[in-house]
Amino acid sequence: MSQCPFGHDRSTLPGDSTPTQPSPRFSQWRQDGALAPLSYRDGHEGLIVTRYDEARAVLTDPRFSQQPQRMPRSDAPIEEGVPAGPLDEEGVLADRSAGVLGLDGPQHLRLRRAVTRRFSVRSARTYRPRIAEIVAEQLDVMIAAGPGADLLALYAEPISIRVHALVLGVPDHLLERYAQDYVHGAPRQQQHDLLREAVAYRGENPGDDVISDLLGNDDLSDAEVEGLLHMLSMSGRDTVAYMISTGTVALLDEPEQYHLLAQDPERVPAAVEEIVRFCTMFLTVFPRTATESVTVGDRIVEAGTTVSVSTVSANRDERRFGDADVLDVLRDARGHLAFGDGLHGCVGQQLARVELDEAFRALVTRLPGLRLVSTGLRQPSPLAHPVATYAARPVIVGW
Ligand code: HEM
């Protein structure tokens, strides 16, 4: 915290968090109140919500708009990425028309509904057998590499990109390029060109997948189809990879937690809820703006105020989760906010749950003696994205 010229405390997001150990600033904020002042990148002041009840109240209140999106300032450097580069007119229109996280009301609902069926509980269940096969194949690859393998590069990332491609309907012959462009990053034009190839292919060869669903939806323009596919390719994939790799570190940091799952893999689905609570990736979700004066907790948030909800902090709130800083795979962690909540809550959460369930189940079953050799996750994490999410880091394991 530093002094601003007007005499207020000027707060930025702390830069000393690691994915398993949030900055002590968050617990200090929670002690002081549910909301605290926060500086935004463009220099204006808003609020950060740090307690669970108030976080949930803001996320589920439609009086908070997703626009305009003004990202909070952070002391942590943002991850260096591939420069976005120029994008042709169709691509710009596509991104503009389908950025669901920046839309409200009927406009948002219409686009969200175009994809929700494919990500329902029932649909996620039908993908389970294929996901289990992908997980088993990637575990074979990691085991073949031998102790000292990087679980992020050989297991977590390939699972997340392969499942993403499967559900979206990216054809096999484009998989390698899709992985390259969306995992390692590529100029935006290259990403959009690749999606156009996938769309053209599915136009000729329809399948049981998101692209085919969107192409069969007469209500959507070509730009919206491309935009939705780009948005889906950008969301969820890195979060699944982060969660598998960081969750493994959290479990191996407390080996008895890992052993509890190895002894009884039927505990894994409930443990997944605890792992995503404990390793929550979003320091803050996308900022909201109050469209009218709203009471949050014991405070009035004036119309026009920018509000950032910290899901990391809310999920460590002792008022909601006893011993919140302890990973306890036997606790009932349901109700956590790791997937957000309300109208913008995570579309892909049921699919993510199946991926995480299969990934942790395979690890504890086939490698009950897994141990952590080293990980980059001990360093305060640079942020992966302006929206303030942690970045995944190598996780070197032995067995
Ligand atoms: C462990 C994995 C995942 C985590 C932790 C996660 C987390 C989140 C969070 C916190 C939000 C809400 C952001 C906000 O309210 O500002 C969100 C939204 C979203 N997620 Fe996920 N996500 C995961 C996996 C996925 C997957 C697999 C997909 C599917 C492609 C996906 C697609 C989306 C989309 C499209 C939204 C925007 C929803 C809207 O604005 O209506 N996510 N996610």
Classify residue 236 as left (phi > 0), alpha (psi -120 to 50) or beta: left
Pairing of strands 306-309, 45-49: parallel
CA gyration radius for the chain? 21
pLDDT attached to residue 2: 42
Going from the C-alpha of 102 to that of each of 83, 118, 138, 154, the distances in angstroms are 22, 21, 35, 34
Which ligand 1 atom lies nearest to the CA of residue 163? 27
Cα–Cα dist 364/351, whole Å: 20
pLDDT attached to residue 363: 98
pLDDT attached to residue 1: 43
- CATH number for the domain spanning 176: value is 1.10.630.10
| Å from CA of 348 to ligand 1 middle | 6
SS3 370: coil
Say what the alpha-carbon torsion angle 203, 226, 127, 343 is, to the nearest 10 degrees: -140
pLDDT attached to residue 9: 57
Mean pLDDT per 10-residue run, the chain (399 residues)?
45 92 96 95 93 98 91 80 84 89 92 95 97 98 98 98 97 96 90 97 97 97 96 92 98 98 98 98 96 96 97 98 98 98 97 98 98 94 83 96
| Å from CA of 349 to ligand 1 middle | 7
Cα–Cα dist 182/2, whole Å: 37
Give the structural domain span for 325.
Answer: 2-398
Terminal C-alpha separation, the chain:
43
State if residue 223 touches ligand 1 by the CB under 6 angstroms criterion. Answer: no
- Other C-beta atoms closer than 10 Å to the C-beta of 90 total 14
- Residue closest via CA to ligand 1's atom 35 equals 347
Residue whose C-alpha is closest to residue 54's, from 69, 34, 36: 34
Find the largest Cα–Cα distance for the chain.
Answer: 64
Which ligand 1 atom lies nearest to the CA of residue 343? 41
Q: Contact at 8 Å (CB) between 251 and 361?
A: no
Sheet holding 395-398, edge to edge: 149-150, 395-398, 371-375
- Residue closest via CA to ligand 1's atom 22 equals 236
Residue in the structure block whose two tokens are 């307690």: 51
Number of domains forming the structure of the chain: 1
| Å from CA of 306 to ligand 1 middle | 21
